[in-house]
Amino acid sequence: MFLDVLCCNMTQTFRIKGLGGKKILSGELSPHGAKNAVLKVLAATALFSESIEISNIPDIEDVNSMILLLEKSGFFIKRLGARRLVCQPPRKTAARINTDIAKKLRASIVLTGPFLSRYGKISFPHPGGCVIGERPIDLFLSAFQKIGARVSRNKDYYTINAPKNGLRGANIFFENISVTATETLMLAAILARGETILSNCAMEPEIKYLAEFLNSCGARITGAGTPTICVIGGELLRNTKNIVYKTPPDRIETGSFLILGALCARDVTIKNCIPEHAASTIAILERMGVSLNIGKNYIKITNDFSGKGKKHFLATGVKTHEYPGFPTDLQALMTVFLTQASGEALVFETIFEGRLNYIELLNRMGARITSMDQHRILVKGPTPLRGRKLESPDLRAGLAYVIAALVAKGTSFIHNANYIDRGYEKIDERLREIGADIERV
Ligand code: EPZ
């Protein structure tokens, strides 16, 4: 099943008919379950003595890849429909992460923590994923050594062994704030002897949500969602109350739809979302003049250009930052927004050194973006965009091109649509529902 999904996606292209700057999309969009939440709870199932049920799963390729990785390690996964599954971890496993799949999936690295602490050993390749920088794993390797594991490396392949009597708790300071390193070590510490204190942790809401679920199954984690997480190690987790992990709505989808709506919509409502998780994006868009009506679990975007003179948004500088700051995953989309705002603005990508590789094609569409260095670009707007052939370099820049194509005048073709499918479920169908002229060819 997985391979034929992969093959059919390889030749996918989106054809998009641009709106030529008109803001006429209208209707409702709902974010699906968060990719970067569900991939980690799938890894965490290794810490349980029995099966775990997960719901509100997004139907995206990265989830299929993670499921395949687990099945190849002896996990039994039963699908209960498109968005639900039960995952039963094995008592023993060879704990070798499949190279071909791990090379496509950065989240595969999160398996190392629970596998090491449950099965005592893990062999894996340097993880793959979006080409947005070097993406080292030094924080993981040095932290594993701190909790007593032995790390050996053969070129691009690592083998890590826990001591015979298991991992022991330690004080770990992350020199860089890393989302997956925080999650991986939090999971490893659950079966380590004694107390583990993780400092300078990432504070993404998915981390807090995961810790709360694990605590309801017997884990003893405090501080998740703050810079300091403390874990008291213990036995395998047991889901005695049969709690189902319900994947939270994807805050990056919510932010993506906000930017799309601000640029192309007459009125679009994002439903079943958590506005607080998009606070940084909301603050930036409102600062630039976007009118948003924010409810408990919805955000309504209205653009009222009823002929009272063309009103442009006012460009202001944007800097990416770890949560709760402006997310790097929305950086490319915000650049597209700035091409349509009045004025000059600096976009400062502070987290990844290779995440500005999409600007050339935007300039060929008519944008005026100047590269300052590998972390900063200067965007001058507003500039009308013209449709053209585009090739998405990664998942998030791919969606930025979709938005640019919708803003543009004329037709665009976006190749490598499978990159976009990795993180946005059936995005073409969902955008058609609000009036976008987009189809797979
Ligand atoms: C997670 O990646 C997300 N992926 C990314 O989303 C997201 O962009 C990123 O966090 C930042 O928010 C998943 O959760 C699967 P990092 P991650 O470790 O954990 C450096 C998407 O599109 N670093 O937080 O890999 C690293 O180079 C993806 O959904 C080290 O130096 O990112 C970077 O500069 C793209 N050593 C910074 O930390 C390490 O050992 C943050 O990276 C690890 C990371």
Residues 257 and 222 placed together within one structural domain of the fold: no
Domain closes at, from 214, 236, 258? 236
Residues 412 and 356 placed together within one structural domain of the fold: yes
Sign of the torsion angle spanned by Cα atoms 87, 59, 243, 216 = positive
Q: Is the CB of 110 under 6 A from ligand 1?
A: no
pLDDT score at 7: 44
In three-state secondary structure terms, 70 is helix
Residues 285 and 415 placed together within one structural domain of the fold: yes
Partners of 398 in beta bridges:
none
Residues 123 and 145 placed together within one structural domain of the fold: yes
- What are the DSSP calls for 179-208, one per residue? HHHHHHHHHHHTTSBSEEEEES----HHHH
Tokens of 252: 């990056």
Domain total of the chain: 2
* 243 domain-assigned: no
pLDDT score at 133: 79
Structural domain of 203:
35-236
* 406 domain-assigned: yes
Return the best residue to mutate from 32, 35, 36, 61 for the ligand 1 pocket (most ligand atoms within 8 A of CB): 36
Yes or no: say if 331 and 355 are a contact pair by the CB < 8 Å rule: yes
Q: Is the CB of 210 under 6 A from ligand 1?
A: no
| Cα Rg of the chain (Å, integer) | 22
Q: How far is the CA of 158 from the centre of ligand 1 (A)?
A: 19
pLDDT score at 5: 44
What residue's CA is closest to ligand 1, atom 9?
A: 179
Report which of 400, 441, 407 is spatially closest to residue 424, judged by C-alpha positions.
400
Residues 207 and 140 placed together within one structural domain of the fold: yes
Residues 346 and 394 placed together within one structural domain of the fold: yes
Give the separation between CA 249 and CA 277, rounded to whole angstroms. Answer: 10
Report which of 60, 55, 104, 97 is spatially closest to residue 80, judged by C-alpha positions.
55
Domain closes at, from 236, 260, 280? 236
Residues 275 and 397 placed together within one structural domain of the fold: yes
Ligand 1 atom at minimal distance to the Cα of residue 127 = 25
What residue's CA is closest to ligand 1, atom 28?
A: 329
pLDDT score at 134: 78
Residues 85 and 172 placed together within one structural domain of the fold: yes
Q: Is the CB of 136 under 6 A from ligand 1?
A: yes
Name the active-site residue from 130, 201, 264, 273: 130
pLDDT score at 406: 98
Return the best residue to mutate from 32, 41, 176, 247 for the ligand 1 pocket (most ligand atoms within 8 A of CB): 176
Residues 96 and 71 placed together within one structural domain of the fold: yes
Yes or no: say if 142 and 168 are a contact pair by the CB < 8 Å rule: no
Residues 302 and 402 placed together within one structural domain of the fold: yes
pLDDT score at 3: 46
Q: How far is the CA of 64 from the centre of ligand 1 (A)?
A: 20
Give the separation between CA 313 and CA 310, rounded to whole angstroms. Answer: 10
Crossing angle for the helix pair 331-339 and 395-407, to the nearest 10 degrees: 20
7 tagged catalytic:
no
Give the separation between CA 27 and CA 268, rounded to whole angstroms. Answer: 5
What residue's CA is closest to ligand 1, atom 24?
A: 178
Q: How far does Cα 362 stand from its chain's mean position? A: 23
Residues 24 and 161 placed together within one structural domain of the fold: no
Which residues make Cβ contacts (< 8 Å) with residue 168, sequence separation at least 6?
Answer: 147, 148, 192, 193, 194
Domain closes at, from 188, 206, 236? 236
Partners of 122 in beta bridges:
160
Residues 310 and 398 placed together within one structural domain of the fold: yes
Report which of 53, 4, 16 is spatially closest to residue 242, judged by C-alpha positions.
53
Report which of 385, 390, 393 is spatially closest to residue 420, judged by C-alpha positions.
393
In three-state secondary structure terms, 278 is helix
Which residues make Cβ contacts (< 8 Å) with residue 339, sequence separation at least 6?
Answer: 362, 367, 368, 369, 379, 381, 382, 383, 385, 404, 407
Q: Is the CB of 137 under 6 A from ligand 1?
A: yes
CATH value at residue 436 = 3.65.10.10
pLDDT score at 339: 98
Q: Is the CB of 130 under 6 A from ligand 1?
A: yes
* 41 domain-assigned: yes
Q: How far is the CA of 179 from the centre of ligand 1 (A)?
A: 6
* 1 domain-assigned: no
Give the separation between CA 256 and CA 268, rounded to whole angstroms. Answer: 12
In three-state secondary structure terms, 310 is coil
* 337 domain-assigned: yes
Q: How far does Cα 286 stand from its chain's mean position? A: 24
* 2 domain-assigned: no
Report which of 295, 284, 234, 229 is spatially closest to residue 259, judged by C-alpha positions.
284
Yes or no: say if 56 and 246 are a contact pair by the CB < 8 Å rule: yes
pLDDT score at 304: 75
pLDDT in tens, the chain (441 residues): 444 444 444 578 999 999 999 999 999 999 999 999 999 999 999 999 999 999 999 999 999 999 999 999 999 999 998 899 999 999 999 888 998 999 889 999 999 999 999 999 999 998 887 778 778 899 999 999 999 999 999 988 999 999 999 999 999 999 999 999 999 999 999 999 999 999 999 999 999 999 999 999 999 999 999 999 999 999 999 999 999 999 999 999 999 999 999 999 999 999 999 999 999 999 999 999 999 999 999 999 999 765 455 568 999 999 999 999 999 999 999 999 999 999 999 999 999 999 999 999 999 999 999 999 999 999 999 999 999 999 988 899 999 999 999 999 999 999 988 889 988 999 999 999 999 999 999
* 196 domain-assigned: yes
Give the separation between CA 43 and CA 392, rounded to whole angstroms. Answer: 28
Which residues make Cβ contacts (< 8 Å) with residue 263, sequence separation at least 6?
Answer: 23, 336, 337, 340, 403, 406, 407
- What are the DSSP calls for 214-261, one per residue? HHTTT--EE-TTSSEEEEE--S-B--TT---EEPPB-HHHHHHHHHHH
